Amino acid sequence: MAAADVRDMLDLPAEGQPRPHKKQKVVEKRPEGITRELYALLGERAPPIAINENRYKGRPKWMSKLRVRPWCMAPFTNEARSDGLVLRHWQRQIDTAKPALEGPETEGEEPKQDEGAPPTPDQEYLFAKYNVKARVPRRYTDEEYNRHLKSDDWTRQETDYLMDLVEEYNLRWVIIADRYDFQPHPVDAETNNSALVPTRQVRTMEHMKARYYFIAASMLALEHPPSEMSEAEFELHEKMMKFEPERERARKELAALQLERSADAVREEGVLLEELKRITANEQNFIAERKELYSRLEVPISVGNTTMYQSSQGLSQLLQTLLQADKSKKRRSILGPEGAAPSPAAQTPAPNANARDSRGDTPSNAPAAPANKKAAAAAAANKEAQQNIRTLTPAEEAKYGVQHHDRLAPGVQFRSDRAQKLTQAKSNVQTQKLAAALAELEVPLRLVMPTERVCKEFEKLIHSVNLLLDARKVAEKVESEIRVLEAAKQERERKAKEAKEKEKPEVKTEQDDNPAPAADVTAEPSAAAPSAEGQTETTGDKEADTGRGDTGDVAAREATSQKRSASVLSTTSDKSTKRQKK
Amino acid sequence: MNPSIPPSTAEYGGDEVSAIVLDPGFSTTRAGFAGEDTPKSLIPTYYGKYAVEGQERLIFSDDVFVTPRPGLSVHNPMGRDGIVEDWDMAEKVWEYSFTSRLTGPRPGNPFQNGLNDIADGELPTEMDGVETEEKPLADSPLLMSECGWNPTKAREKTIEIAMEKWGTPAFYLARNGVLAAFASGKASALVVDIGASNISVTPVHDGMILKRGVQHSPLGGDYISSQIRALFKTNTPQPITITPHYLISSKAAVDAGQPSLAKYKTFPPEKAPDASYRTLLEERTLSEFKECVVQVWPGPNKLSATGPNGVSNEEVAKNNPGRPFEFPDGYNQVFGLDRYRVVESLFDAKAAIPDPESPFSAPTQAQTVPELIKNALNGVDVDIRPHLLANVVVTGASSLLHGFTDRLNQELMQSYPGPRVRISAPGNTAERKFGSWIGGSILASLGTFHQMWISKKEYEEHGPTIVEKRCK
């Protein structure tokens, strides 16, 4: 569409003449034969005659120095032919004089040049190497045929014919099947004529393939038995032996059906394919989204020791180090020593930390310290704002979680941290023992829900467990001492006995008396145990003290104490479990 | 390109041995040197025969058309089915095609050309070596084309002529379907060749035709001419008679549809050429008509069918602007729907315009192009059918009918909705007309082809039967 048409449509006034300035832009090109200076003298209007004449471009200058290399019509023979047909083609004559002067781009045709004008017999024809034939198996001998390859379906003649075709058409089955036209031997036909008309079989490609593969595989197996075949050969053999003409035929029938589909079927298939594509695309999307979600949820498992970061001090320390690292990385030195301040990345965490500190520091002005729940804290703050001097009833205090502290450590800390700290004893062995005791009580080392009350109870529990452990330790000690002393006593008695026996042989009565006090000892603690229940700890302590006090005293007394401490142990554990249940 | 550097052979694998490619057809015979892009020599296969003083004279090439000699009759050595009928004349026409423009005329017998007259008292010189030199093709291998259904006898006769009469050192006979496929760069293709006397469909696989798939029918360019004649007979407002140029002495401009005001030349019966001459020249007018006016209904569906929006295709075709044509006698007319009807029977046998006088019997549906293609595909293995459909090569001068490839594409898409149908038809007129010649030119200039030639030595060893063995 021309500009005039557009103007016409839009009812614009037609422009008188096409804009002239555009025409001026056309720069006339300087003809090649004229120097720049001379062309400049010509001015605006070049003469209408053509100054330059069309010249033959010729060869580049450097080439003119080379000698002309003549071409000549040269006869050649083709090694792919058996009859030595001599054809003639144009060839460059060999340039024996100065091959060094040739340009680099002519290097590629070096071999062709060498073929040269006088036909050198040793030079192979360039295209002879493309004469390749398909590898077909060796032709069978009569004996081999009769022994291995006989078939009811195929006569020897027809098999030969098939093998000839295969060789002739280089295994192109489409063409073999197309050209296959076996005429049974005329002599056979004549003899059979009277008896029965030989039915002319229509050989399909599958028949031919099956027969050929069978023969090829058999010949391969004859040449090398399957056990000696190379891997490739064996594979080929397997492939050929496993050819199923029936299946191939069925496949072709399906292929034909597929080709003959109606337009509707094709359209439907297209729709279905489109649908399938959509579904798979959706699935891909979904999988990708889910993966992303998972990657967000999964926190990388840290390998290092994190115990130092579990307390709030540790965390703030970490923050500080990170800030330091950040500062040093960003090299804000250009802005001076305060350079770090204006950068928002460095600034924002610091006030936060301050705010936290101040909040932690200021419970003195407010009656209630900030609670763990923000909502509660906010509610408390609101209340505080409304009426400053209102005192809360204990019920309300419990409701809002208001607590009073005598003394507060600076900084934020978790209640669970404190509970946690209790489980850490001074020595590692002790800590382990504590943990074992808690495990025995089925109390988790780390509290699941560290509310105020639970923490208090936990504290109590830990305290009593500590006591228990102490008692156990003492008891063990005492027991071992008892054992030592008893052994010593026995030794002593034995010696005494020996000595007595030496003095007077009848000691029988004394020996009979001995078991009585022992029975007493065992009976005593069972009676004592219920009475001791109320003051176990003190008794335990007492016993321990006494045990510690007079080491190496009478065996009988110590035996009772030992028994008693054992019962104490059991009662304390009972108690603690009861407490736990409570 | 630098003329001193030959194109590297690796680029196209060519090695030219100055072979001659001869592609004989029913209407024209093409000949040229292998490696060129169009045949240098293009002559009609028709030849003229007349008698002067009792001596029979022959006219070849375009000279046939020029002068209406008394008693000039026009003949064609080829049969309508594309197989040579008159071997002697075919040999002469073919020989003329390459001697006239390519190899130069055959030197006369050296004993009779006067140069070798033996002076008195001299002994005759040894002339043994001369005989081979006489043969017109003594130093050019010859590649000839043939139709896919050429019988063995005809092939043997061809090699006999080439070897014994023309003395070619090497010969090859290739199927024109294969050559047309090569011309469009395909080794496997379904070649649809719309020629003058025949249309043929040839499945080609790996450079060889699949004989069971080859289909042909007589609905070629000449059949279309007969349809046009039938149309002219029933034309309104008045039947049209074609008067060739040689019968017109002067003409005057008339309005469309008005009877012509031309003055005619008259030939006395003893000076008049034969009727076949007039038919040949009428054919020339008709081919002009085909080039200018005739159009194939581009589809979808037949011309007689109803389009998607309820309007019949004929109505749509009628509404397309008509095309004017002026005949040699000045009569002119605009052709509307009729220009579609004359070729519709190539696709729909029922649409043929009936004409009892036509030499062509009414076409059957099996002779139409889509049916031929269907039959051709059914004759080949099912595995290669989709591949063939994706490589349909359209060639032959009659396929240049306006809209032909569009319609063929539509028809194929309709009958085969599943596989991809792709028609490759060169847009260049010369490439479409000379498809099989160009393929032959490519083939005969390939370095790898030179092992395929049947050499003279082989021919002498095995006789003409070798052509069946070698040219598969």
Q: How confident is the model over A335-374, as pLDDT tens digits?
A: 444 444 444 444 444 444 444 444 444 444 444 444 455 5
What does the pLDDT average to over A167-188? 83
The CATH number of residue A220's host domain is 1.10.10.60
Instruction: For B134-156, write each residue's pLDDT tens digit.
Output: 688 888 999 999 999 999 999 99
What does the pLDDT average to over A47-54? 63
Is the CB of B8 less than 8 angstroms away from the CB of A168? no
Phi and psi for A433 in degrees, rounded to 5? -60, -45
Count: domains in chain A:
2
| Burial bucket for residue A382 (CB in 10 Å: 0-12, 13-18, 19+) | exposed
Is the CB of B205 less than 8 angstroms away from the CB of A172? yes
Q: Say what the pLDDT of residue A386 is.
A: 57
Q: Among B414, B416, B455, whose Cβ lies nearest the Cβ of A83?
A: B455
Say if B212 is an interface residue toward chain A (CB within 8 Å): yes
Residues A173/A245, Cβ–Cβ less than 8 Å: no
Long-range contacts of range A263-271, CB-CB < 8 Å, 24 or more positions apart? Answer: A263/B414, A263/B417, A266/B417, A266/B418, A267/B417
Q: Nearest-CA distance from A96 to chain B in Å?
A: 17
A71, A78, A170, A202: which to substitute to probe chain B, counting the most B Cβ within 10 Å?
A78
Q: Taking 50 as the threshold, does the pLDDT of residue A109 lie above it? A: no
Alpha-carbon span B408 to B421, nearest angstrom: 10
Alpha-carbon span B265 to A580, nearest angstrom: 137
Is the CB of A261 less than 8 angstroms away from the CB of B418? yes
Q: Among B8, B208, B417, whose Cβ lies nearest the Cβ of A175?
A: B208
Residues of A in contact with B8 (CB under 8 A): 108-109
Bin A575: left if φ > 0, else alpha if -120 < ψ < 50, else beta.
alpha
Say if B308 is an interface residue toward chain A (CB within 8 Å): no
Q: What is the pTM of this model?
A: 0.64
Q: Say what the pLDDT of residue A436 is.
A: 86
Residues B387/B395, Cβ–Cβ less than 8 Å: no
* Residue % of chain A over a pLDDT of 90: 14
Residues B74/B17, Cβ–Cβ less than 8 Å: no
Is the CB of B386 less than 8 angstroms away from the CB of A88? no
Q: Nearest-CA distance from B408 to chain A in Å?
A: 17
Q: What is the largest CA-CA distance in chain B?
A: 96
Nearest chain A residue to B452, by CA: A81
More confident residue, A42 or A533: A42
- What radius of gyration do chain A's Cα atoms show? 56
Is the CB of B9 less than 8 angstroms away from the CB of A106? no
The band of A555, judged by pLDDT with boundaries at 50, 70 and 90, is very low
Is the CB of B17 less than 8 angstroms away from the CB of A89? yes
Nearest chain A residue to B456, by CA: A85
Mean per-residue pLDDT over chain A, rounded: 71
Q: Say what the pLDDT of residue A112 is.
A: 41
**A-contacting residues of B 428-467, CB under 8 Å?**
446-448, 450-451, 453, 455-458
Q: Say what the pLDDT of residue A65 is.
A: 76
Tokens of B58: 């022959």
Alpha-carbon span B323 to A32, nearest angstrom: 49
Alpha-carbon span A361 to A191, nearest angstrom: 125
* Residue % of chain A over a pLDDT of 70: 60
Nearest chain A residue to B18, by CA: A89
Residues of A in contact with B373 (CB under 8 A): none
Domain closes at, from A226, A244, A260? A260
Segments forming the whole domain that contains residue A242: 131-185+200-260
Domain closes at, from A214, A229, A260? A260
Residues of A in contact with B215 (CB under 8 A): none
Say if B7 is an interface residue toward chain A (CB within 8 Å): no
Residues of B in contact with A260 (CB under 8 A): 418
Lowest mean pLDDT among A13-22, A206-215, A480-489: A13-22
Any domain includes A461: yes
Q: Nearest-CA distance from A134 to chain B in Å?
A: 14
The one-letter amino acid at B385:
R
Q: Nearest-CA distance from A73 to chain B in Å?
A: 9
Instruction: Look at residues A498, A494, A466, A420 and name the one whose alpha carbon lies nearest to residue A572.
Output: A466
The band of A57, judged by pLDDT with boundaries at 50, 70 and 90, is confident
Q: Say what the pLDDT of residue A405 is.
A: 75
Instruction: For A357-416, write each residue's pLDDT tens digit.
Output: 444 444 444 444 444 555 555 555 565 555 566 777 888 877 777 777 777 777 777 777
Is the CB of A174 less than 8 angstroms away from the CB of B211? no
The one-letter amino acid at A147:
R
Is the CB of A87 less than 8 angstroms away from the CB of B414? no
Residues of B in contact with A59 (CB under 8 A): 2-4
Nearest chain B residue to A255, by CA: B382
**A-contacting residues of B 243-262, CB under 8 Å?**
none
Nearest chain B residue to A266, by CA: B418
Q: 3-state DSSP call for residue A562?
A: helix
Helices A156-168 and A205-223: crossing angle, nearest 10°?
90
Q: Say what the pLDDT of residue A96 is.
A: 54
Instruction: Look at residues B401, B394, B397, B421 and name the one whose alpha carbon lies nearest to residue B410.
Output: B421
Q: Among A105, A125, A177, whose Cβ lies nearest the Cβ of B381?
A: A177
Q: Taking 70 as the threshold, does the pLDDT of residue A487 lie above it? A: yes
Output the CA torsion sign for A469, A475, A477, A479: negative
Residues of A in contact with B382 (CB under 8 A): 252, 255-256, 259
Is the CB of B208 less than 8 angstroms away from the CB of A69? no
Is the CB of A126 less than 8 angstroms away from the CB of B169? no
Residues of B in contact with A93 (CB under 8 A): none
The band of A331, judged by pLDDT with boundaries at 50, 70 and 90, is low
Residues of B in contact with A68 (CB under 8 A): 4
Say if B206 is an interface residue toward chain A (CB within 8 Å): yes
Any domain includes A336: no
Residues of A in contact with B211 (CB under 8 A): 178-179
Q: Tokens 């204990």 label which residue?
A: A394
As averages over each run of 10 residues, the pLDDT of chain B (472 residues) reads 56 84 95 93 94 89 88 93 93 92 71 61 55 73 94 94 92 95 94 94 94 93 94 88 92 89 90 92 94 91 85 88 92 92 92 89 92 94 94 95 94 90 93 95 92 92 92 86
Alpha-carbon span B86 to B107, nearest angstrom: 25
Q: Nearest-CA distance from A241 to chain B in Å?
A: 22
Q: Taking 60 as the threshold, does the pLDDT of residue A505 lie above it? A: no
Beta-carbon-side half-sphere exposure of residue A78 (alpha carbons within 13 Å) = 27
Q: Give the Å distances, CA to CA, from A128 to A72, A76, A120, A261, A300.
A: 21, 12, 15, 46, 67
More confident residue, B214 or A138: B214
**Over A29-62, what HEC string results?**
CCCCCCCHHHHHHCCCCCCCCCCCCCCCCCCCHH
Alpha-carbon span A477 to A543, nearest angstrom: 12
Q: Say what the pLDDT of residue A568 is.
A: 46
Q: Say what the pLDDT of residue A19 is.
A: 55
Q: Among A172, A173, A259, whose Cβ lies nearest the Cβ of B382?
A: A259
If residue A565 lies in a helix (H) or strand (E), which one and from where to where?
Answer: helix A555-581
Phi and psi for B343 in degrees, rounded to 5? -110, 0
How many Cβ atoms from other residues are within 10 Å of residue B192's Cβ?
A: 28
Q: Among B139, B417, B450, whose Cβ lies nearest the Cβ of A78?
A: B450
Size of interface A-B (CB pairs under 8 A): 117
A61, A87, A206, A272: which to substitute to probe chain B, counting the most B Cβ within 10 Å?
A87
What does the pLDDT average to over A14-26? 54
If residue A75 lies in a helix (H) or strand (E), which one and from where to where?
Answer: strand A71-77
Q: Nearest-CA distance from A17 to chain B in Å?
A: 36
Q: Say what the pLDDT of residue A437 is.
A: 84
DSSP letter string over A401-444? Answer: T----S---SS---HHHHHHHHT--SSHHHHHHHHHHHHHTT--
Phi and psi for B174 in degrees, rounded to 5? -115, 150
Alpha-carbon span A221 to B187, nearest angstrom: 36
Domain closes at, from A468, A499, A530? A499
Q: Nearest-CA distance from A112 to chain B in Å?
A: 9
CATH code that applies to domain B220-362? 3.90.640.10
Q: Say what the pLDDT of residue A263 is.
A: 86
Q: Say what the pLDDT of residue A532 is.
A: 43
Residues B161/B37, Cβ–Cβ less than 8 Å: no
Instruction: Look at residues B384, B18, B246, B5 and name the one whose alpha carbon lies nearest to residue A102.
Output: B5
Residues A52/A37, Cβ–Cβ less than 8 Å: no
What does the pLDDT average to over A41-46? 71
Alpha-carbon span B361 to A424, nearest angstrom: 114
Nearest chain A residue to B454, by CA: A85
Q: Among A84, A106, A173, whose Cβ lies nearest the Cβ of B5?
A: A106
Q: Among B386, B417, B450, whose Cβ lies nearest the Cβ of A87?
A: B450
ipTM here: 0.85
Q: What is the largest CA-CA distance in chain A?
A: 167
